Amino acid sequence: MQLDEKTVLHYLLEDPTRSAREIAKELKSYRQKVWREKTRLEEEKIIWGYTAVVNEEKMNQVLYLILLKTKPMSKEFADILIMRKLLQREPEKQNVRIINVLFVNGEYDWIVMFSAPDHATARRYYDSVRIDYEKLLIEKPVIVDVNFSIVREGKINPEIKKIYDFIPVK
C-alpha cells in the first residue's frame, strides 16, 4: 500500500492505539514518514481527537439521545452551547457524559448523545437543556434511550449478536 493521507487515516480509524512503527511495518515504509503524516493530519485538524468506544451497559450507564428543533443559530445560542454547557463542563457536574453533539440538517437541528447512570439523572439533564434553550426551541425536545448500539465511532459492536435478544417472543 502507498503511504498517503487516506492510508494513514484508515489505519488510525481502524485502531488509533497502533504505533507509527506498527503502521510503517504493515505499509513497508518508514516510521518517520508515518509519524509525519499523522502529525500533519492532527495539525490540520483532519484528526481532532481519539476516543475509546464504551459499552455503557457494562459501566452501569444508559445511552440517550436528545433531539432538538431550534430557531436559526444565533450568537446567544452559540454562547449558551459553548460557554455554559461545554466549556464549563456543566454535564459532568450533573453526572452525565456527553458523547456527541451534532448540528444537523433534517427534521431536527441538533442531536445530543449522552450517557447517564439512570433515568432520573438523564431526565434532570434533559430538563436543564430544555430550560436553558427554552427561548431558542421551536418545540419541546424529544429524549430517547438507546436499546442497543450496533455501530459506534465506526466500530461494530463486538457483541453484535445480542441484537437477537430484541426479537419478540411469539
The Cα–Cα gap between 63 and 118 comes to: 9
> What contacts 109, CB < 8 A, 6 or more positions away?
68, 69, 70, 103
Q: What is the pLDDT of residues 148-170, one digit of tens each?
A: 999 998 899 999 999 999 999 98
Query: Does position 30 have pLDDT exceeding 60, yes or no?
Result: yes
Q: What is the pLDDT of residues 32-73, one digit of tens each?
A: 999 999 999 999 999 988 888 899 989 999 999 999 999 998
The Cα–Cα gap between 117 and 62 comes to: 6
Res 1: pLDDT:
55
Do 112 and 98 form a contact (C-beta atoms < 8 A)? yes
Q: What is the pLDDT of residues 117-144, one digit of tens each?
A: 999 999 999 999 999 889 899 999 999 9
Query: Does position 2 have pLDDT exceeding 70, yes or no?
Result: no
Average pLDDT, the chain: 91
Q: What is the pLDDT of residues 59-109, one digit of tens each?
A: 999 999 999 999 998 888 888 877 777 777 888 889 999 999 999 999 999
Task: Return the C-alpha cell found at 80.
Answer: 449558551
